[in-house]
Chain A
Amino acid sequence: MFLSIATTHRPATDLGFLLHKHPNRLHEIELTFGKAWVFYPEATDERCEAALVLDVDPVGLVRGKGQGDGLLDHYVNDRPYAASSFLSVAFNKAFRTAMAGTCVARQDLADSALPLEAVVTPLPMRGGEPLVRQLFEPLGWHVEIEPLGEAPKLYARLVLRGEARLSALLTHLYVLIPVLDDTKHYWVGEDEIDKLLKRGEGWLDRHPAKDLIVRRYLRHRGLLARAALERLAPQMQDEAAEPETQAAPEETLEAPIRLHDARLEMVVATLRAIGPKRIVDLGCGEGKLLQLLLRESWARELIGLDPSARVLERAARRLKLNQPGGPPEGRLTLLHGSLTYRDDRWTGADAAALVEVIEHLDPDRLPLVERVVFGAARPKTVVVTTPNADYNVLFPTLAAGAFRHPDHRFEWTRTEFAAWADRIGATYNYQASMSGIGHEDATHGAPSQMAVFTR
């Protein structure tokens, strides 16, 4: 990775004083993850340019980390090459005094705005060109972006131009390069908040993209991000509590109509009218339905089942399972399991909910799930919801024939869903009643649909 800083201040070679690096020498900087060198490709009175090149040790990076960092870290990746927190760490070490805005010999220079130009390459652009501009332009930089490689354009050569103190340029880069990289840092620790606040002093609290910067900078450290924002701007705390996540495409699509909330409320209302004591949420995901059901006193015992252990952990956190303030012992159980296997652990539930689950199963596995739920476990009540494919034409951004979510294996029209419900009813001896969820369109029906099976 490569960083250069140039100035046309006269005499330009003053840059050497500011950076505390003599223009005629090659400076070598030892780092835990490799080596960096600083040298001057150009050093005249008119223009002076300092370059920092970084040689990350690709073998040491993997071997040193060993296990526990996830297998992908063992696999070949762009970490040794793409500008990232490694680069920030390297130039922080190389230009420490300049970063701090001090210059023993020429403090006036350090304190004054100079005409500066910085080049960073290859800069990862997670968030694309617009985000690069969104981050640097409010800070007064003229931004030039030259995308690299073939599509998809993941990297760019970034050129920043403007008049500023050198320390401002360096601290901006120090914070914003990792933000654009948006990958796990190898060095985020407890003191990162202090570092961030220190580096961000005087500009971060006024930056329009402040939230995003803080969250991404303290990536994978949700608690840290929250604490940092609290100190930065106490009123922001609540919004920052949820780590930044890529909203699922389905949610984005359906967001304007708040469909998922409507869906969950309707399922809860349906169950409330029937009053089952023991309810199993099959495919509970992160536990949104369970969270609503926990508030209902008639729902004595709740079980959540999901095939993803990772998602269940999140559900356990959301629902405060086995935590102070969480549900009393025995009220809620989370089970790692799958609908394609018969499972005694939840057999005997009075009601089962399959909310937006069946469309995530391959059609050839569906008969298996039917046998497990309606044939083997046979709860008195089964509530099934699934998108109404008829309604898809009303989503302006959804291509014709496309599904609402990339993991959907099918989406049914009202007729198809009704036919399925009829067949289930006949095969397994259940009565089915059908209804729509969400605002009903005269032609295409409601956005989502529900079948309530009882026996």
Chain B
Amino acid sequence: MRKSDQYIEIPDFALVVLIGSTGSGKSTFAAKHFRPTEVISSDRCRGLVSDDETDQSVTGDAFDLVREIAGKRLKNRKLTVIDATNVRAADRKSWIELARRWHALPVAIVIDPGIDICIERNQLRPDRPFGGEIVRRMVSEIRRGQRGLEGEGFRQVWKLTSAEDVDAVTLTRVPLWTDKRTDHGPFDIIGDVHGCADELQEMLTKLGYEIIWSNADGTRNVAVSHPQGRKAVFVGDLVDRGPNSPDVLRIAMSMQADGTGHVVQGNHDRKLERWLAGRKVTIAHGLQQTIDQLQAESEEFRKGLPKFLSSLRSHVWLDQGRLAVAHAGLKAEMIGRGSGAVREFALFGETTGEIDEFGLPVRADWAANYRGDTTVVYGHTPLLKADWVNNTICIDTGCVFGGKLTALRWPEKELVEVAADKVWSEPLRPLAAPRSDTSAQAEADQLLDIKDVSGRRWIDTELRGRIVVAEENASAALEVMSRFALAPHWLAYLPPTMSPSETSEAEGWLERPEEAFAHFRERNVTEVICEEKHMGSRAVIALCRSAAVAQMRFGIAGDESGAIWTRTGRSFFSDIATTEGLLARLRDAVGTTRLWDELGSDWLLFDAEIMPWSAKANSLIENQYAPVATSSAAGLAAAIDALIRAGARTNEIAALRERFAERARRAGLYGKAWAPYVWPVSGIEDLKVAPFHLLASEGRVWFDQDHVWHMSLADRLAEAANGVVTRTAWHQVALADDAACADAIRWWEDLTAKGGEGMVVKPRDFVSRGPKGLIQPALKVRGREYLRIIYGPEYDAPDNLMRLRQRGLGGKRALALREFALGHEALKRFVAREPLRRVHECVFAVLALESEPIDPRL
């Protein structure tokens, strides 16, 4: 306990519990030293639940509320002050528990200005009709209990024993010892050294440090520095098992003292500390070597050790919070916090409670569940090879067991290795190899968590900032994704929806190219690409050079050599044979064009259209479109027949007959509208693929290339001419060139008059920004007859068309941009080999957004 009349110094993240009788001035003190939002007052909560701050009958509810608010604040790593009398140990127990739950340091501040002052103050307050007896009882209880506060679990206890002290004291906040976020390094994080002094020095030299040994007054000293000011961070376990723990300690101690290094505590370091302090420890796991080595060292050196070892922290939080280093790892909710649990976890990690065949505890795979934004670097468990898993990496590669010493350069994220000179110690169990030959990440990726996709979600995208996915949308996507979509490992991308151009005012038209051109012209786009819109079904194609590549890169278990999926992530074809057959032909085309070598990749991801439409949409045609054709034709024919039989009895009958004849004509056109898009498919030969984007390949998302590049690539594939890839007609159009625009419009008119669906107009650059931000990546301009399929037989009757023009495009366009940004983000993360859940959340979000209620005819 600290009696303080001058200053109080508390951690900037703590649970501060004020202790004082009624009238002691707690609230005044709190208001003076803390922000109003930091202070949770039990009286205030009484008021919130009962409209009366003095109502003692709601104490239980009021304290539930205090605990709830305090818990939420601590969860968000916010300093929190409990303003209540907290007289009895029993009152304080729940705060200790709460602090432990959120790994906050519990701090007690006792405010005891004297009984008389409290009574006097209460008498001035009409809402406190307490007699002096209550105050006396409270104060005496507080005084009786205050000696036990540390025993109760408070990590700091401050005491203010006079009104003057309460007034005069200053309160300052200091960062936790583990909080070194203001230190930006750059750092070199070094794995478990275990007394391998030579390898450590080799490593430091390799990393560019200068090591200078000196011998003054018979003591051996060392100074280590880096010309570029880099700093070393040791993950702990400096000692035991290896040949020269004292020199390792010298280096670490000197670097820590000079501010050129951080050291976190390892379990071996702690055990040594306890042994030096004379505590009873089991001497095993190489401690004896250290003890022997220390016998040979000077008294002076040995004396310095306890201070150093006890100064070691559970972890260190660095570089604006981007990096945390702990010996055995750390859960996200423990970083930058302090509690017994944090220390235990940092030292030993998490175990399942089971013991393996070597008699060692089985480690729980906390890294597989890690979801934090902070990179966690740790050691403790010797592995054959350091490997990333969910933004964490274990860099203990068993140097002392004859493996190697590994360091991670930060922020470069490069691994640097130094081989062990020899096997210094026989490992109890063989160094853990990854369970299969895939990466540790692929292993961890085998399981996605429901929390990765459910609930309201925020996804940060490079193209469009933070994108919110509403809970109900995510919920709608869950069934499709889990029951009908391909395995998430394949789905590195889902295509965005595409908006039509602005509605045309030209008589008889709903959409025309003029509006699309104007749209882009207004947004400072100078050149667009007009691409023929094939009437097929959208497909994303993952094409691998071989099944082995598919397994390695996509982490799938089967022997597929790629996958083809629809806009909703379902397999495009119901049978593997068709998929593989089509992939084989595409592989041929890619081989002929030598794209594998040119792009330096064994896999390619294409955005394409697969024809015919009927291959995928046959049930839609049968259940939706054909019934409209049949029913409209039959009813109108019967009406016309009856009107003819009625003869020209009145002029009105003749006019009505005209009206129905016009309706029947449109219905007839409807019945023919989809004929060009339908042909029977009996084998792969009948399928056509029209790729139009190369989305990604190894190490690259191709959104940085313009559409001329993409279409030229598509042309090359079509020319490889094995029949399956069909050419997409396209034109470059300068928007300032009226003649070029007119040509493009004529081309579109011809195309759609011949039964073509229409065209897609894209800014030449894949990703374009205008004065108001991201621009639609593409607009579709659909032909008149195609629109009949969508809007119904009679959509172009003048009064229908007039009303259909009142369509709102805003929702569709906002959706298109969000999905575009999410798709790009998914690809970017996939190419960067980020954890599957990070890719999957973007793809899942695209699917979720598709459940937005948008007019499906757009």
Contact = CB atoms under 8 A, between A and B. Distances in A.
A63 interface: yes
Contacts of B470: none
B475 A122 contact: no
Interface string A169-208: 0000000000000000000000000000000000000000
Contacts of A24: 649-650
Contacts of B627: 77-78, 82, 149, 154-155
A76 B482 contact: no
Given A341-B453, A342-B447, A307 B630 contact: no
A338 B634 CA distance: 46
Contacts of B478: 307, 309, 336-338
Interface stretch (B494-502, B635-643, B812-820): B635-643
A81 B632 contact: yes
Interface string A349-388: 0000000000011101101100110011000000000000
B800 A59 contact: yes
Given A26-B653, A41-B645, A342-B447, A81 B631 contact: yes
A343 interface: yes
B487 interface: yes
Contacts of A372: 447
B639 A25 contact: no
B631 A150 contact: no
A144 interface: no
Interface in A1-33: 1-2, 4, 24-26
Contacts of A150: 626, 630
Interface stretch (A67-75, A286-294, A295-303, A323-331): A67-75
Contact of B450 (A41, A155, A343): A343
B804 interface: yes
Given A59-B803, A76-B628, A78-B628, A343 B856 contact: no
A139 interface: no
A430 interface: no
Contacts of B800: 58-59
Interface residues of B, number: 64
Nearest to B790: A76
A263 to B, nearest CB: 21
B622 interface: yes
A41 B628 contact: no
A345 B449 CA distance: 11
A4 B450 contact: no
Given A74-B855, A76-B790, A121-B638, A39 B653 contact: yes
A80 interface: yes
Nearest to B451: A344
B487 A364 contact: yes
A405 B529 CA distance: 48
B631 A40 contact: no
A309 B450 contact: no
Given A122-B635, A148-B634, A307 B479 contact: yes
Interface string B648-674: 011011001001100100000000000
Contact of A59 (B479, B556, B804): B804
B803 A60 contact: yes
B557 A76 contact: no
Interface residues of A, number: 65
A37 interface: yes
Contact of B557 (A59, A80, A148, A367): A367
A372 B447 CA distance: 7
A395 B680 CA distance: 33
B325 to A, nearest CB: 27
- Residue of A148, A341, A376 with most chain B CB atoms under a 10 A cut-off: A341
Interface in B589-622: 622
B452 interface: yes
B642 A82 contact: no
B625 A76 contact: yes
A340 interface: yes
A401 interface: no
B2 interface: no
Nearest to B571: A362
A244 B262 CA distance: 72
A345 B642 CA distance: 66
A342 B609 CA distance: 35
B51 to A, nearest CB: 28
Interface in A139-157: 148-150, 152, 154-155, 157
B393 to A, nearest CB: 22
- Residue of B476, B479, B639, B641 with most chain A CB atoms under a 10 A cut-off: B639
A136 to B, nearest CB: 19
A364 B446 CA distance: 12
B420 interface: no
A357 to B, nearest CB: 11
A371 B635 contact: no
Interface string B550-564: 000000111000000
Interface in B434-493: 446-454, 475-476, 478-479, 481-483, 487-488
B240 interface: no
B13 interface: no
Contact of B631 (A122, A307, A368, A371): A122
A81 B628 contact: yes
A51 interface: yes
Contacts of B402: none
Nearest to B480: A307
Interface stretch (B3-11, B223-231, B269-277, B791-799): B791-799
A39 B475 contact: no
Contacts of B857: 74-76
B848 to A, nearest CB: 13
A367 B450 CA distance: 17
B558 A364 contact: yes
A338 B450 CA distance: 8
B853 interface: yes
Interface in B315-331: none
A265 interface: no
A403 B626 CA distance: 29
B646 interface: yes
B639 A53 contact: yes
B363 to A, nearest CB: 15
B482 A2 contact: no
B475 A309 contact: yes
A453 B723 CA distance: 52
Contact of B635 (A2, A40, A63, A343): A2
B453 A41 contact: no
Contacts of B578: none
B628 A37 contact: no
B856 A155 contact: no
Contacts of A371: 446-447
B499 to A, nearest CB: 16
B624 interface: yes
Contacts of B453: 341
Contacts of B636: 81
Given A26-B652, A307-B478, A342-B448, A121 B791 contact: no
A337 B645 contact: no
B447 A78 contact: no
30 contacts: A2-B639, A26-B650, A39-B643, A53-B639, A53-B656, A55-B659, A58-B795, A59-B792, A59-B800, A59-B803, A75-B624, A75-B790, A77-B628, A80-B794, A83-B635, A121-B634, A148-B630, A150-B626, A155-B627, A155-B630, A308-B479, A338-B450, A338-B479, A339-B482, A340-B448, A361-B483, A367-B446, A368-B447, A368-B487, A375-B447
What 5 A-B pairs have minimum CB-CB distances, sorted nearest first?
A149-B630, A338-B482, A41-B645, A81-B631, A2-B638
Interface of A: 1-2, 4, 24-26, 37, 39-42, 49, 51, 53, 55, 58-60, 63, 67, 71, 74-78, 80-83, 119, 121-122, 124, 148-150, 152, 154-155, 157, 307-309, 336-345, 360-362, 364-365, 367-368, 371-372, 375-376
Given A2-B642, A82-B631, 8 more contacts: A40-B646, A41-B646, A53-B643, A81-B636, A121-B635, A149-B631, A150-B626, A364-B487
